[in-house]
């Protein structure tokens, strides 16, 4: 989004593309072959997602007008410690080959810090790149986010006081990421006809004495909070089971190396036939 905001007329366009969709069945590191592989990948993506004709998509990619933002490098392997021989390492070799051959197009790669560090420890990384890491949200930033995103700041006084008085404490650590702050506000700003459904003071309860306990508490309430005012026929319990089933399916892909045809499935691939069977099973149970 930031790249798009700063983009001038005629500059390349950043395009998000999943790392799992890159064909890794054959390890390619030569610049020419790697460039051909990446360009074919980008052309297919621009055609499918953005509805360009093959001719237009190929012209844009060949002219270096597409900046691939390769998302989810850490989702290519079941291990938290990928190395040179991993699928993530193989993807980086292809991308590095593409970079060595092309002078116009740049690229970005997103990855969890621990996964990328494991690759770096095995001398595998994006060549000629700057490494940017997202820092933890500070106590002041967390407090400002809550004050800006809530209706009645007085309801959040205990939470705000705890964050400021116990820096490094369980609550401050639990709310040190944008995602968990969003969870907290979504869960505790939920309103019904009779008023707010939950009191944010619950976040300071003794039984929630660790960051993980606070995280699990927020996650357990997130689906009911989102569905409360949706107006749809979705029951929170059934929705939770559906999502858990899909998550288990995706995790099995990553941990077992399952294949569909000639393609190895990643932790982001859903096979429609399998999903249909799973959802039919859920309906029958109900």
What is the spatial distance between Cα 261 and Cα 259, in angstroms, rounded to a whole number?
6
How many beta carbons lie within 10 A of that of residue 7, not counting itself? 13
Cβ atoms 248, 267 nearer than 8 A? no
Supply the pLDDT for residue 54: 96
pTM: 0.71
In which residue ranges of the chain is pLDDT below 70? 29, 102-105, 229, 262-263, 272-286
Q: Give the CA distances from residue 2 to residues 6, 14, 19, in Å, rounded to whole numbers and listed in that order.
A: 6, 10, 21
CA distance 95 to 90: 9
pLDDT of res. 139: 94
Instruction: Give, for 281, the enclosing helix (H) or strand (E).
Output: helix 272-285
Q: Coil, helix or strand for 172?
A: helix
The helix/strand count (H/E) of the chain reads as: 12, 7
- For residue 259, the model assigns a pLDDT of 76
Residue 98 has phi, psi (to 5 degrees) of -60, -40
Residue 195: strand pairing partners: 192
Q: Are strands 259-260 and 195-196 parallel, antiparallel or unpaired?
A: unpaired
The dihedral over CA atoms of 240, 241, 242, 243, expressed in degrees to the nearest 10, equals 50
* pLDDT score recorded for residue 69: 96
Instruction: Evaluate whether 254 touches 264 at the Cβ level (below 8 Å).
Output: no
């Amino acid at each position: 989004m930031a790249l798009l905001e700063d983009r001038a007329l005629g500059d390349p366009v950043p395009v998000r593309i999943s790392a799992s969709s890159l064909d890794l069945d054959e390890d390619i590191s030569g610049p020419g072959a790697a460039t051909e592989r990446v360009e074919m990948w980008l052309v297919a993506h621009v055609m499918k997602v953005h509805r360009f004709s093959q001719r237009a998509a190929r012209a844009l990619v060949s002219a270096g007008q597409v900046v691939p933002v390769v998302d989810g490098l850490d989702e290519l392997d079941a291990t938290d410690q990928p190395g040179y021989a991993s699928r993530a390492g193989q993807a980086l070799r292809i991308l590095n080959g593409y970079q060595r051959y092309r002078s116009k197009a740049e690229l970005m790669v997103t990855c969890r810090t621990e996964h990328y560090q494991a690759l770096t420890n095995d001398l595998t990384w994006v060549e000629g790149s700057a490494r940017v890491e997202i820092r933890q949200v500070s106590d002041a930033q967390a407090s400002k986010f809550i004050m800006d995103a809530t209706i009645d700041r007085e309801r959040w006084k205990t939470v705000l006081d705890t964050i400021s008085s116990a820096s490094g404490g369980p609550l401050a650590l639990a709310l040190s990421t944008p995602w968990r702050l969003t969870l907290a506000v979504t869960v505790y700003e939920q309103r019904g006809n009779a008023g707010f459904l939950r009191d944010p003071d619950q976040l300071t309860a003794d039984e929630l004495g660790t960051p993980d306990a606070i995280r699990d508490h927020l996650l357990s309430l997130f689906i009911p909070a989102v569905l409360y005012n949706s107006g749809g026929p979705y029951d929170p319990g059934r929705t939770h089971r559906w999502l858990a089933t899909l998550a288990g399916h995706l995790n099995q892909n990553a941990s077992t190396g399952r294949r569909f045809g000639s393609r190895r499935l990643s932790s982001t691939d859903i096979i429609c036939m399998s999903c249909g069977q799973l959802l039919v099973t859920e309906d029958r149970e109900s």
